[in-house]
């Protein structure tokens, strides 16, 4: 049970839990949370696989990927939260400024 | 020289996106047109050069060779896709300008243009990208921008559709990302060509393949995972839904074909393709039947997208039986996808022109519309010809190749589904045309459709027919760097 | 002159297409320009086709080849058979255009009508000149597309319903033909239509498949040729305006199906293979059933155009019957009937259109004493009807004569009974109409002589039936002369049978 | 390979339980709080797997900014939104079936030997990165990867941030956001902000500079700057600029634009796109980093402001009527 | 050169005149009489055996005049011209339409005689048949329309039968011109079938027994000049058809010959008997024509049995045909003449004498053409048939002469006793035409003798004279006794005899047609659609679709599908390692 395997499995489990959370929760904020957890799961897996042991240097490329992933995940979540806010503000049928009915 | 030309195809729209953020109304229009035409020009040059030199181009970015740095991969397929995207994009740009009209000159709709050019840049980036993770990033840009544009009208339905779309697309991207991660961990590189060489069936490879394929299936709205597409496309403003149905969905279809035939080539001969084929068949039937019962033109066209994309997967089981048939499938599917992009955009633009004039697209109230706006329905008809797959159109050639492959491999059920799909497509296209061609009683003088809208729709409607008749050039271009060499 | 020979087969279908496109963009008011374009296009087309006819007669080689994708090519090749059909459609298009201009004098959206009208004829000529399978399908489907708007031109609900049934049938037919051709293409590679069939190289390997493909082709082409189980669309498509039902359902669409059958049997499968596969009896039985069924149904139709439609259903199957009996005379009969039936049937439809337009008569029961009021139209109707029955000197007799003697020569004398029965049935449903037209008991007691002045209806509507009726008469009367369709049919059969 | 120590197992169990807490918890507010804790624990795990850069980014961005956004979204939601009401996890047929399917899926993966493959991860690209590290102009390998080896990815990633800001602008209601009078903000928050903000900016500057040779870099600095911005927004809205004004747009675009300009310059000098010549690499990376930090910081602040429905706008431009809800 | 022009002009002239009717109807009416002159000129000027080739017309036609053609052309042209002349005075209503149909029928009749090839023959035969429909229906009375309907139905059946027979013969014999017919085509393949078709086809026109039903209806209905031509010339077309098509004088066909003779004899007797019972004088004459045609059918039968007797029998047929044409024509024309329209005195006696001559001639009274024709026929037939058949023939001839005498007696009695319904006196032309025709009848014995010298000796022998007189004397005696018995029941049988059988048949066909068409509509597509697809199916189907679609949209279902696909694809790929 090496470090890499342990964290990879945790990451994989996080990924699956995130998907289940996404599916069984209908509220949008809960879904945003679930998506973030899924993303963290993937990143944990990547970094776990990049870990080469105490003495060896870890592989920086996955780290770079994860960094980019985190930023993208964060911006996507931010957009989602913003949309949730706007949706709550715009009541159904209110034709704010759309061009058709 | 072409290396720099290729980069400009990605950079120019980005610069345009940035400039449109700052300049005033008149300047913005000029910037849009210049950017559009320059990208169109450079894609034509690229296509000509790839067709002429007949060899594949690998462009190294930031100076580092493959495993470390990122490579852009330009072969016939991506050149043709770039060209088609450019043509469609220029038409959408001119259409959107006339469509939004005064509304887009001030207020929040001015931000449509930077978003739109960013999507165009990401599309070009995606078609060129030779790196799996880079594909993820470009795909993510396209999806987030698409979500934003779907939500543009800020009506309740469009926001709900946008949120649904975002959640599903984000899930698709994440599962794709996980697949990429697994590929990297087992092979140590992210470059498509290198991965293709190292491809060998083992545990992680299968998990990666499953995750990537399902992620992309979500993005291309294949049958069971398609429910997000119709509301998103129908409630978005027309230029956006044209962009979504035409280009965004084509991008993920392109990725499936690209990865399917390079990185996951060994898996092409496994029962996985049968599953994809079955889902494709169901998509064709389900989408067509639904398109038949819709009340709004845009919903009809949206469901038609679901149906037409089913064909991409329908032909895959044929690859299981023999490699020479795989070539026919490869060419057939790609040609079909390209013509479908033009035709679908034309259909949506036609619906948009109609909405711009009549302010609604409920089919029931459209009786006699063809009398007032013949050109719009002529364009819709021509686009319909390609969607049905009737001869003069490129779609027909795609279907002809797929049909030939299916018959050679003896898959008669697929032949049946393909034919049924075409007939059902005829059903919903002519349902709309039939009602429009009725003689309407009210003789109030019709508001003439703006020329810029009708012209752009007509150009895009004629394109698939031209691709159908003069199919020699595109096929020779497609043959450059294709995994199967020239069409047998 | 090589270049001219290369481009000519393409120019002929393209003329009417270009005219069609230009007309589309004309506004409704530009009536004179539209008329000029129509007539000019038609005349130029007729001249070019006849130029090609002379050329082919001197064995010049006209072929247009455009590679499409892989080894598939878009081929337009002018051989005697194709020119026969092209000549028929171009001449009748000219006449029908004149008629249509007169008929649609003040009706709405005529630009759209004439646009699709010329598209449809370019499709017909394309089908005639098609040199291989894929070109044939392309024009075949284009024909469906361009005829649909014409069928629903009036825009009424039943026109739409007719359009729907028309589409359902023809697209199904097109799909069957597509599957058959693709299958054939995969079995035998890219195949061109050749004088004596071009499937010899795969004949022995794929006996069963070739039979199934033949069945599919018969079904697919049978839809347009209105063979029995698939003829439902023709009577209901009579809702279309008269010029449409005249040119399309008597000549272009129906003949395209029949012409397709001729092409498949002679230039694709070839005689020996058809004989070898023994599929001909199947076609013969189908044709016979259609002939009898069509005539029987026509007997009980009170609506004039529906009666003519059912008569077309039965008459077109003569061609199929002629082909299915493998003998030179029977083939000539079948091929020449292609032209003769077209001439006679279009006259009948023109007259029906005139009655509907001038006297608002749509039903046979209302036709009492119509001969007195419109003598010239009824005269041409009578002559054409007699021709359909097969009474000399009209063209109908010549083709029935060749069919009859062909069946005897081929030893299939039972087929003559079919001819006899159908002639009787023709008599049974045409003669009452003639009786009503000329001899019926009209209440108005004017016994003055019929006034034969040529002003009974708008000249544009009067002259076309007279011209086509005259053509039918001349084709019958001077069948022996080299200018007649019969002579050309014999040239075709001579080449088909390699005599 | 290093064997898993009990502390690792504990850490993983903690992570999993926190994730369960976030998803399973009935009350959404508590879910968000647990999510923030989850983010911090994740940062802890990054340090364990010696990826300090990621730890910093996760802490600042993942837990920090996103956590705050979730909190603001929750506060804005209020109770009336039914979806927020406490919800039990419905155990109906669909959930059971998918649970079973998941188990079958995991069993199959095990049988496929996926997990055994994960035990010994491949060697990846460690050697090539460290060999040519000296050419990249920076000593921190992660910064080298994201700003030199795979600069194109980071270029597009900045594009994503730029894109999100664009969408936020595109979806703001047209009417100008009304600005509230300053008294509402309590004294204590203002004085705290006055104290901490300069240090945060200084720390961001340090992080930016240290990125070249020690964990840190543009994103972490940007996140820190964002945090500072949010704090400022909470305490003294008058201070900051109107997000949609010209200066704000310019700064937002700075990172993305700088990448473009430098890439084009590289191309003009005959190098590949985004290729920094070794001697100039350090300076190029630095300029890009500063520009991106600035735009990241501002983007995050703008995101926060837009989610809070009040775009920051100086009093001078707009009248003081009451802000719409 | 002149011959070919005449040959063509004889049938072209009436056609051209008919065409002019469109422009100047009155001119056509005036020139009606002159239409027949080119034909008459051809009879005298064109030598037998000359022919002209028109390759362009139809499938290459040839017109010529052989011995049979010459004989028939003579009688046809004479009767047509005189009928035209008679019609000038007789027809008052719708003159131009009568004129057109008259001219078309004339052109058809002349053309079919001259045609030397099958297709040309068939063309003119059809033209004559269809045009004469116009003549039959000219009066527009209900009886005329009914007669016209029966006539046209049988004409069409005739046309079709002839067409199929002709097609068969043409291909089996390999040529379309009559001259090159071999006789072996009958034995080939289905030769018998085509022979039968030709027999029936021309039998209809010639009034052969089972198919004669249209004759007794059409002739009375048609105006007198038309019925004169119908009965005089057109009925002979069927005979010409037989002579042209069938292998006369080539192969011996005993079977077919026997059939011909049998039917001919039956007609010969039964028709005459039925004729006596007719009240309408024109119907009476029609039946007498049928019986006379029966005799000629027997003659043809004899030729078929004894091919080499053709050279003798054909002249007899020609003689008998000419005689019959003139007498029958005169009798029909006399129907329109009424004794008391003429001022009393010498002219009335002359008319009564002239009225009596044709019946006597038809009955074969001494020194009349009838007697000449009958003796010639008897001599001709006896020369070629066995002795036993000869006695049968003599008996037949005797019975027939008795019956014909009876017919004629009844005819004269009806003519003189009942003055026809008030019919305004016909024009002078009618009288003159009738008078000339009777004159021809009177001099016809001389004409026949000059044309066919062989007949002279035999017809003057005492035996022949006696055999021609006794039947007339006997009948007139009986008639004189019966005529003034008022109690006498004069039988009146309806005109059409076997018609009711055919009507039953048509009823049957019509019923079958109705049932099959109802079945066809029943099995039509929309019926099936209503049957199999319940009415509201469309609506339910749509709502079902929408429900599944929305259910698919639910997140949970989506998740299930997502995970399902994951497991399914891993399973699929699982065994593939």
pLDDT tens digits, one per residue of B201-212 = 888 888 999 999
Tell me what the mean pLDDT of segment E499-506 comes to: 79
Query: What CA–CA distance (Å, rounded) separates B285 from B424?
Result: 8
Tell me what the mean pLDDT of segment C258-274 comes to: 87
Tell me what the mean pLDDT of segment E508-522 comes to: 76
pLDDT of residue A44: 93
Put simply, the answer to whether E569 touches B210 (Cβ < 8 Å) is: yes
With a pLDDT cut of 70, the percent of chain C lying above it is 98
Going by pLDDT thresholds of 50, 70 and 90, the confidence category of residue A68 is: very high
pLDDT at D319 > cutoff 60: no
Residue A97 included in any domain: no
Identify the DSSP state of E534: -
Q: C350 lies in which domain range?
A: 279-499
pLDDT of residue B417: 92
Question: Given B228, B275, B289, which is nearest E545 (Cβ)?
Answer: B289
pLDDT of residue A38: 93
Put simply, the answer to whether D54 touches A96 (Cβ < 8 Å) is: no
Tell me what the mean pLDDT of segment B80-105 comes to: 88
How does strand E61-64 pair with strand E51-54? antiparallel
Q: Which residues of A touch B174 (CB under 8 A)?
A: 15, 18, 35, 38-39, 42
Question: Given C70, C108, C138, which is nearest B392 (Cβ)?
Answer: C138
Tell me what the mean pLDDT of segment B273-286 comes to: 91
Tell me what the mean pLDDT of segment C254-266 comes to: 89
Are the beta carbons of C385 and E148 closer than 8 angstroms?
no
Residue from A17, A18, A23 whose CB has the most chain E CBs within 10 Å, to mutate: A23
With a pLDDT cut of 90, the percent of chain C lying above it is 10
Query: What CA–CA distance (Å, rounded) separates A24 from A34?
Result: 10
Question: Per residue in C446-485, pLDDT tens?
Answer: 556 677 777 778 888 888 889 999 998 888 888 878 888 8
Put simply, the answer to whether E560 touches D97 (Cβ < 8 Å) is: yes
Chains that touch C (3 or more CB pairs under 8 A): B, E
Omega cis (within 30) before C334: no
Put simply, the answer to whether E58 touches C232 (Cβ < 8 Å) is: no
Q: Which residue has the higher pLDDT, D248 or C7?
A: C7
Residue-range domain boundaries for chain D: 1-78, 123-315
Spacing of C-alpha B92 from chain mean position = 13
pLDDT of residue E457: 61
pLDDT of residue D80: 45
pLDDT at E270 > cutoff 80: yes
pLDDT at E121 > cutoff 50: yes
pLDDT of residue D325: 37
Cα E205–E210–E211 angle (5° rounding)?
Answer: 30
pLDDT at B169 > cutoff 70: yes
A82-91, B98-107, C57-66, C270-279: range with lowest mean pLDDT:
B98-107
pLDDT of residue E420: 53
Q: Give how far B324 is from chain C: nearest CA, Å.
A: 12
Crossing angle of the two packed helices C253-262 and C328-354, in degrees rounded to 10: 180
Whether E193 and chain C come into contact, CB under 8 Å, resolves to yes
Count of domains observed in chain C: 1
Residues 6+ apart with CB under 8 A from D129: A59, A60, A61, B68, D141, D144, D145, D149
Query: What CA–CA distance (Å, rounded) separates D232 from D223?
Result: 14
Q: Give how far E548 is from chain D: nearest CA, Å.
A: 15
pLDDT at D248 > cutoff 80: no
Put simply, the answer to whether A30 touches D154 (Cβ < 8 Å) is: no
Question: Given E556, E557, E563, which is nearest D102 (Cβ)?
Answer: E563
How does strand C62-69 pair with strand C72-78? antiparallel
Are the beta carbons of B217 and B279 closer than 8 angstroms?
yes
Going by pLDDT thresholds of 50, 70 and 90, the confidence category of residue E460 is: low
Asked if chain B contacts chain D via 3 or more Cβ pairs within 8 Å, the reply is yes
Question: Per residue in C312-346, pLDDT tens?
Answer: 888 889 888 888 887 888 888 888 998 899 899 99
Q: Give how far D3 is from chain A: nearest CA, Å.
A: 4
B257-271, B276-290, B473-487, C155-169: range with lowest mean pLDDT:
B473-487
pLDDT of residue D317: 32
Closest by CA to B291, choosing from B427, B446, B159, B399, is B427
Tell me what the mean pLDDT of segment C281-289 comes to: 89
pLDDT at A95 > cutoff 60: no
pLDDT of residue E485: 65
Question: Per residue in B422-447, pLDDT tens?
Answer: 999 998 998 888 888 887 666 666 77
With a pLDDT cut of 90, the percent of chain A lying above it is 42
Q: Which residues of E touch C407 (CB under 8 A)?
A: 167
Q: What is the mean pLDDT of chain C?
A: 86
Whether D166 and chain B come into contact, CB under 8 Å, resolves to yes
Q: Which residues of E touch C416 (CB under 8 A)?
A: 164, 167-168
Are the beta carbons of E365 and E468 closer than 8 angstroms?
yes
Are the beta carbons of D176 and B110 closer than 8 angstroms?
no
Going by pLDDT thresholds of 50, 70 and 90, the confidence category of residue E387 is: low
If you count residue pairs, one on C and one on E, with CB atoms under 8 Å apart, how many are there?
Answer: 118
Q: Identify any residues that bridge with D3 across adjacent strands, giving them in sequence order.
A: A2
Question: Per residue in E13-39, pLDDT tens?
Answer: 888 888 888 778 788 888 888 888 888
Residue A100 included in any domain: no
Asked if chain A contacts chain E via 3 or more Cβ pairs within 8 Å, the reply is yes
Going by pLDDT thresholds of 50, 70 and 90, the confidence category of residue B170 is: very high
ipTM for the predicted complex: 0.81
Question: Per residue in D47-73, pLDDT tens?
Answer: 888 888 899 899 888 888 888 888 888
Shortest CA distance from A61: residue in chain B: B68
Shortest CA distance from A24: residue in chain E: E556
- Give the pTM: 0.85
Question: Per residue in C81-117, pLDDT tens?
Answer: 888 899 988 899 899 988 888 888 777 778 888 888 8
Q: What is the mean pLDDT of chain E?
A: 79
Q: Give how far E275 is from chain C: nearest CA, Å.
A: 30
If you count residue pairs, one on D and one on E, with CB atoms under 8 Å apart, how many are there?
Answer: 33
Closest by CA to E105, choosing from E216, E225, E217, is E225
Residues 6+ apart with CB under 8 A from E525: C232
pLDDT of residue E250: 67
pLDDT of residue E384: 66
Cα C221–C279–C488 angle (5° rounding)?
Answer: 60
Q: Which residues of D touch E560 (CB under 8 A)?
A: 94, 97-98, 101
Question: Given E545, E561, E565, which is nearest B290 (Cβ)?
Answer: E545
pLDDT of residue D318: 33
pLDDT at A43 > cutoff 90: yes
Query: What CA–CA distance (Å, rounded) separates B351 from A99?
Result: 14
pLDDT of residue B307: 92
Asked if chain C contacts chain E via 3 or more Cβ pairs within 8 Å, the reply is yes
Are the beta carbons of D160 and B144 closer than 8 angstroms?
yes
Residues 6+ apart with CB under 8 A from E570: B206, B207, B210, D105, D108, D109, D112
Tell me what the mean pLDDT of segment A18-29 comes to: 81
pLDDT at E263 > cutoff 50: yes
Residue C74 included in any domain: no
- Dihedral sign, Cα of residue B374, residue B376, residue B382, residue B387: negative
Put simply, the answer to whether D174 touches A86 (Cβ < 8 Å) is: no
Question: Given D8, D58, D145, which is nearest A3 (Cβ)?
Answer: D8
Q: Which residues of D touch B239 (CB under 8 A)?
A: none
Question: Per residue in B240-261, pLDDT tens?
Answer: 999 998 899 999 999 999 998 8
pLDDT of residue E452: 67
Question: Given B137, B181, B359, which is nearest A46 (Cβ)?
Answer: B181
pLDDT of residue D274: 83
Query: What CA–CA distance (Å, rounded) separates C473 from C395?
Result: 6
pLDDT of residue C31: 84
The CATH number linked to A64 is 1.10.287.3510
Count of domains observed in chain A: 1
Put simply, the answer to whether D111 touches E574 (Cβ < 8 Å) is: yes
pLDDT of residue D44: 92
- Dihedral sign, Cα of residue B18, residue B22, residue B25, residue B28: negative
Compute the radius of gyration of chain D from its Cα atoms. 23
Are the beta carbons of B52 and B171 closer than 8 angstroms?
no
C164-168, E284-288, E416-420: range with lowest mean pLDDT:
E416-420
pLDDT at D180 > cutoff 70: no
Query: What CA–CA distance (Å, rounded) separates D84 from D66?
Result: 19
Put simply, the answer to whether A79 touches B237 (Cβ < 8 Å) is: no
Whether D100 and chain A come into contact, CB under 8 Å, resolves to no
pLDDT at D307 > cutoff 70: yes
Q: Which residues of A touch E552 (CB under 8 A)?
A: none
Chain D 161-200, CB below 8 Å of chain A: which residues? 161, 163-164, 167-168, 171, 173-174
Q: A60 lies in which domain range?
A: 3-89
Residues 6+ apart with CB under 8 A from B370: B377, B433, B436, B437
pLDDT of residue D321: 39
Q: Give how far D237 is from chain B: nearest CA, Å.
A: 23
Spacing of C-alpha C29 from chain mean position = 32
Question: Other C-beta atoms within 10 Å of D86: how many?
Answer: 10
Spacing of C-alpha D222 from chain mean position = 8
pLDDT of residue E298: 83
Q: Which residue has the higher pLDDT, B90 or C5?
A: B90
Whether E568 and chain D come into contact, CB under 8 Å, resolves to no
Question: Given A4, A43, A76, which is nearest D121 (Cβ)?
Answer: A4
Compute the radius of gyration of chain A from its Cα atoms. 18
For chain C, list residues whose CB is within 8 angstroms of any CB belonging to chain B. 24, 66-72, 74, 108-109, 112, 134, 137-142, 144-145, 148-149, 152, 154-157, 160, 163-164, 167, 171-172, 174-175, 178-179, 182-183, 185-186
Are the beta carbons of E452 and E315 closer than 8 angstroms?
yes
Residue C194 included in any domain: no
Q: Give how far E518 is from chain A: nearest CA, Å.
A: 52
pLDDT at B141 > cutoff 90: yes
């Amino acid at each position: 049970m090496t470090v890499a395997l342990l964290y990879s499995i945790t990451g994989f489990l996080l990924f699956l839990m995130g998907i289940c959370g996404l599916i069984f929760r209908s509220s949008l904020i809960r879904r945003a949370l679930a998506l973030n957890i899924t993303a963290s799961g993937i990143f944990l897996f990547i970094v776990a696989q990049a870990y080469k042991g105490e003495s060896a240097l870890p592989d920086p490329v996955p780290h770079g990927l994860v960094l980019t992933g985190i930023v993208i995940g964060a911006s996507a979540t931010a957009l989602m939260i913003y949309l949730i806010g706007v949706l709550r503000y715009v009541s159904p049928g209110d034709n704010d400024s759309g061009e058709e009915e | 020289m072409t290396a720099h030309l290729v980069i400009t195809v990605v950079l120019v729209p980005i610069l345009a996106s940035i400039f449109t953020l700052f300049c005033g109304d008149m300047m913005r229009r000029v910037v849009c047109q210049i950017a559009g035409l320059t990208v169109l020009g450079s894609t034509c040059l690229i296509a000509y050069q790839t067709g002429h030199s007949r060899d594949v181009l690998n462009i190294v970015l930031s100076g580092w060779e493959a495993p470390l740095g990122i490579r852009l991969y330009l072969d016939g397929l991506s050149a043709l896709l770039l060209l088609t995207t450019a043509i469609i994009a220029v038409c959408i740009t001119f259409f959107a300008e006339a469509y939004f009209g005064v509304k887009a000159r001030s207020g929040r709709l001015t931000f449509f243009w930077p978003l739109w050019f960013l999507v165009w840049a990401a599309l070009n980036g995606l078609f060129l990208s030779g790196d799996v993770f880079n594909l993820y990033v470009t795909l993510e840009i396209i999806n987030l921008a698409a979500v934003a544009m779907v939500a543009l009208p800020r009506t309740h339905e469009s926001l709900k559709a946008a949120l649904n779309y975002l959640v599903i697309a984000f899930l698709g991207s994440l599962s794709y990302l996980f697949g990429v991660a697994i590929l990297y961990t087992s092979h140590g590189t992210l470059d498509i060509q290198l991965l293709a060489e190292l491809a060998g069936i083992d545990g992680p490879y299968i998990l990666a393949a499953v995750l990537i394929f399902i992620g992309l299936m979500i993005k291309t709205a294949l049958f069971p995972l398609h429910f997000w597409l119709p509301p998103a496309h129908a409630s978005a403003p027309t230029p956006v839904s044209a962009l979504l149905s035409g280009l965004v969905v084509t991008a993920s279809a392109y990725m499936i074909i690209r990865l399917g035939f390079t990185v996951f080539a060994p898996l092409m001969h496994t029962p996985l393709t049968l599953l994809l084929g079955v889902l494709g068949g169901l998509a064709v039937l389900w989408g067509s039947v639904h398109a038949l019962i819709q009340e709004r033109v845009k919903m009809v066209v949206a469901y038609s997208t679901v149906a037409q994309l089913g064909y991409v997967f329908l032909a895959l089981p044929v690859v299981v039986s023999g490699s020479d048939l795989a070539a026919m499938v490869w060419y057939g599917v790609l040609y079909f996808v390209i013509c479908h992009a033009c035709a679908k955009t034309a259909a949506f633009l036609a619906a948009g022109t109609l909405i711009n004039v009549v302010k609604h697209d409920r089919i029931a109230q459209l009786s006699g519309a063809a009398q007032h706006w013949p050109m719009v329905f002529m364009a819709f008809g021509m686009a319909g010809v390609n969607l049905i797959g009737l001869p003069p159109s490129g779609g027909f050639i795609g279907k002809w190749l797929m049909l030939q492959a299916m018959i050679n491999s003896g898959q008669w059920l697929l032949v049946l589904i393909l034919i049924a799909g075409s007939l059902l497509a005829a059903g919903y296209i002519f349902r709309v045309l039939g009602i429009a061609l009725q003689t309407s009683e009210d003789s109030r003088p019709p508001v003439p459709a703006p020329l810029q809208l009708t012209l752009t729709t007509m150009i895009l409607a004629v394109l698939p027919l031209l691709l159908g008749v003069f199919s020699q050039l595109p096929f020779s271009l497609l043959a450059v760097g294709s995994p199967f060499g020239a069409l047998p | 002159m090589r270049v001219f020979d290369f481009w000519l087969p393409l120019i002929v279908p393209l003329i009417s297409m270009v005219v069609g496109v230009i007309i589309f963009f004309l506004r409704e008011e530009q009536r004179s320009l539209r008329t000029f374009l129509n007539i000019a296009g038609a005349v130029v087309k007729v001249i070019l086709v006849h130029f090609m006819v002379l050329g082919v007669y001197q064995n010049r080689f006209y072929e247009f080849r455009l590679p499409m994708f892989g080894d598939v090519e878009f081929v337009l090749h002018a051989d005697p058979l194709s020119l026969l059909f092209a000549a028929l459609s171009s001449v009748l298009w000219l006449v029908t255009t004149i008629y249509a201009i007169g008929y649609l004098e003040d009706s709405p959206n005529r630009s759209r009508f004439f646009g699709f009208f010329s598209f449809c004829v370019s499709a017909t000529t394309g089908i005639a000149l098609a040199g291989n399978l894929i070109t044939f399908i392309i024009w075949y489907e284009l024909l469906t597309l361009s005829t649909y708007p014409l069928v629903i031109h009036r825009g009424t609900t039943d026109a739409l319903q007719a359009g729907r049934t028309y589409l359902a049938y023809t697209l199904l037919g097109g799909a069957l033909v597509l599957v058959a051709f693709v299958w054939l293409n995969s079995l035998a590679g890219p195949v061109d239509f050749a004088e004596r069939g071009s499937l010899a190289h795969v004949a022995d390997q794929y006996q069963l498949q070739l039979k199934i493909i033949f069945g599919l082709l018969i079904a697919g082409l049978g839809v347009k040729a209105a063979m029995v189980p698939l003829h439902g669309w023709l009577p209901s498509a009579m809702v279309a305006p008269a010029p449409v039902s005249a040119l399309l359902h008597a000549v272009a669409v129906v003949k395209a199906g029949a012409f397709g059958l001729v092409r498949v049997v002679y230039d694709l499968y070839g005689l020996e293979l058809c004989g070898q596969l023994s599929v001909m009896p199947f076609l013969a039985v189908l044709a016979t059933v259609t002939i009898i069924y069509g005539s029987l149904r026509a007997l009980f139709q009170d609506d004039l155009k529906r009666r003519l439609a059912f008569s077309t259903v039965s008459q077109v199957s003569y061609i199929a019957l002629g082909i299915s009996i493998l003998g030179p005379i029977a083939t000539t009969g079948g091929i020449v009937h292609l032209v003769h039936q077209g001439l006679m049937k279009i006259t009948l439809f023109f007259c029906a259109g005139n009655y509907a337009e001038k006297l608002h008569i749509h039903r046979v029961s209302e036709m009492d004493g119509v001969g007195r009021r419109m003598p010239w139209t009824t005269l041409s109707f009578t002559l054409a009807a007699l021709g359909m029955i097969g009474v000399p000197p009209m063209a109908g007799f010549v083709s029935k004569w060749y069919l009859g003697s062909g069946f005897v020569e081929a030893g299939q004398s039972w087929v003559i009974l079919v001819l006899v029965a159908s002639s009787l049935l023709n008599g049974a449903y045409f003669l009452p109409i003639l009786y009503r037209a000329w001899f019926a008991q009209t209440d108005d007691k004017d016994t003055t002589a019929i006034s034969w002045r040529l002003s009974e209806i708008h000249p544009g509507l009067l002259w076309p039936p007279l011209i086509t009726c005259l053509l039918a008469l001349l084709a019958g009367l001077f069948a022996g002369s080299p200018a007649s369709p019969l002579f050309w049919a014999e040239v075709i059969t001579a080449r088909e049978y390699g005599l | 390979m290093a064997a898993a120590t009990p502390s690792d197992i504990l850490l993983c169990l903690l992570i999993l339980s926190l994730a369960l807490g976030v998803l399973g918890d009935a009350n959404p507010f508590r879910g968000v709080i647990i999510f923030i804790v989850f983010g911090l624990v994740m940062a802890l795990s990054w340090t364990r797997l010696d990826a300090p850069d990621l730890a910093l980014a996760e802490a600042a961005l993942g837990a920090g900014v996103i956590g705050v956004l979730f909190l603001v979204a929750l506060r804005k939601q209020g109770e009336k939104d039914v979806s927020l009401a406490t919800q039990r996890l419905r155990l109906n047929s669909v959930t059971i079936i998918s649970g079973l399917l998941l188990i079958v899926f995991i069993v199959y993966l095990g049988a496929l030997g996926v997990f055994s493959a994960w035990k010994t991860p491949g060697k990846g690209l460690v050697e090539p990165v460290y060999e040519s590290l000296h050419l990249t102009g920076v000593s921190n390998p992660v910064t080298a990867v994201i700003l030199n080896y795979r600069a194109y990815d980071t270029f597009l990633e900045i594009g994503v941030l730029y894109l999100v800001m664009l969408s936020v602008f595109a979806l703001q209601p047209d009417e100008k956001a009304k600005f509230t009078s300053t008294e509402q903000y309590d004294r204590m928050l203002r004085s705290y902000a006055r104290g901490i903000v300069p240090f945060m900016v200084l720390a961001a500057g340090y992080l930016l500079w240290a990125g070249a040779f020690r964990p840190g870099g543009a994103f972490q600095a940007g996140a820190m700057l964002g945090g500072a911005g949010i704090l400022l927004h909470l305490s003294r809205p008058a201070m900051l600029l109107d997000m949609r004004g010209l200066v704000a747009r310019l700064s937002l675009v700075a990172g993305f634009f700088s990448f473009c300009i430098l890439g084009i310059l590289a191309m003009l000098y005959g190098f590949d796109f985004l290729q920094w010549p070794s001697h100039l690499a350090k300076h190029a990376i630095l300029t890009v980093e500063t520009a991106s930090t600035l735009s990241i910081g501002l983007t995050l602040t703008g995101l926060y402001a837009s989610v809070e429905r009040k775009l920051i706008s100086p009093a001078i431009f707009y009248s003081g009527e009451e802000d719409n809800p | 050169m002149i011959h070919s022009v005449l040959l063509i002009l004889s049938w072209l002239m009436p056609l051209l005149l008919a065409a002019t009717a469109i422009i100047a109807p009155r001119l056509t009416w005036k020139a009606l009489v002159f239409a027949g002159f080119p034909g008459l000129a051809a009879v005298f000027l064109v030598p037998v055996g000359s022919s002209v080739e028109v390759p362009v017309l139809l499938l290459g036609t040839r017109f010529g005049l052989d011995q049979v053609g010459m004989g028939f052309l003579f009688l046809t042209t004479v009767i047509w011209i005189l009928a035209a002349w008679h019609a000038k005075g007789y027809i008052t209503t719708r003159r131009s339409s009568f004129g057109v149909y008259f001219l078309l029928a004339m052109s058809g009749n002349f053309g079919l005689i001259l045609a030397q090839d099958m297709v040309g023959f068939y063309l003119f035969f059809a033209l004559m048949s269809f045009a004469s429909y116009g003549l039959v229906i000219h009066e527009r009375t209900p009886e005329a329309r009914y007669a016209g309907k029966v006539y046209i139905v049988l004409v069409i059946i005739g046309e079709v039968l002839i067409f199929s027979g002709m097609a068969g013969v043409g291909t089996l014999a390999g040529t379309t011109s009559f001259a090159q017919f071999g006789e072996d085509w009958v034995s080939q393949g289905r030769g018998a079938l085509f022979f039968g078709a030709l027999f029936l086809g021309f039998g209809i026109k010639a009034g052969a027994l089972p198919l004669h039903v249209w004759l007794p209806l059409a002739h009375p209905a048609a105006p007198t000049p038309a019925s004169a031509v119908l009965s005089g010339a057109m009925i002979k077309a069927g005979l010409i058809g037989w002579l042209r098509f069938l292998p006369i004088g080539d192969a011996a066909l005993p079977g077919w010959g026997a059939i011909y003779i049998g039917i001919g004899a039956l007609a010969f007797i039964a028709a005459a008997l039925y004729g006596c019972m007719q009240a309408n004088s024109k119907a009476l004459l029609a039946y007498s024509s049928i019986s006379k045609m029966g005799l000629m059918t027997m003659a043809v039968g004899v030729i078929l049995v004894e091919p080499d007797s053709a050279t003798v029998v054909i002249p007899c047929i020609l003689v008998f045909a000419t005689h019959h044409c003139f007498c029958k024509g005169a009798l029909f024309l006399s129907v329109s003449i009424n004794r008391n329209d003429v001022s009393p005195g010498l002219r009335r006696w002359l008319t009564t004498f002239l009225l009596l001559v044709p019946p006597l001639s038809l009955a074969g009274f001494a020194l009349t053409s009838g007697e000449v024709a009958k003796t010639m026929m008897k001599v001709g037939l006896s020369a070629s048939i066995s002795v036993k058949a000869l006695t049968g023939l003599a008996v037949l001839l005797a019975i027939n002469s008795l019956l014909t005498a009876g017919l004629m007696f009844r005819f004269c009695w009806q003519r003189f006793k009942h003055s026809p319904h008030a019919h305004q006196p016909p024009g002078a032309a009618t009288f003159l035409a009738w008078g000339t025709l009777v004159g021809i009848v009177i001099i016809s014995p001389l004409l026949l003798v000059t044309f066919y010298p062989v007949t002279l000796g035999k017809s003057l022998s005492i035996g022949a004279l006696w055999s021609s007189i006794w039947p007339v004397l006997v009948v007139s005696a009986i008639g004189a006794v019966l005529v003034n018995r008022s109690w006498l029941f004069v039988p009146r049988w309806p005109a059409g005899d076997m018609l009711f059988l055919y009507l039953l048949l048509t009823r049957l066909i019509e019923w079958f047609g109705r049932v099959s068409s109802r079945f066809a509509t029943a099995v039509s597509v929309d019926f099936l659609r209503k049957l199999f697809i319940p009415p509201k199916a469309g609506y339910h189907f749509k709502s079902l679709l929408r429900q599944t679609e929305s259910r698919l949209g639910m997140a949970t279902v989506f998740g299930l599908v997502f995970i399902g696909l994951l497991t399914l694809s891993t399973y699929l790929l699982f065994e593939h390692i």
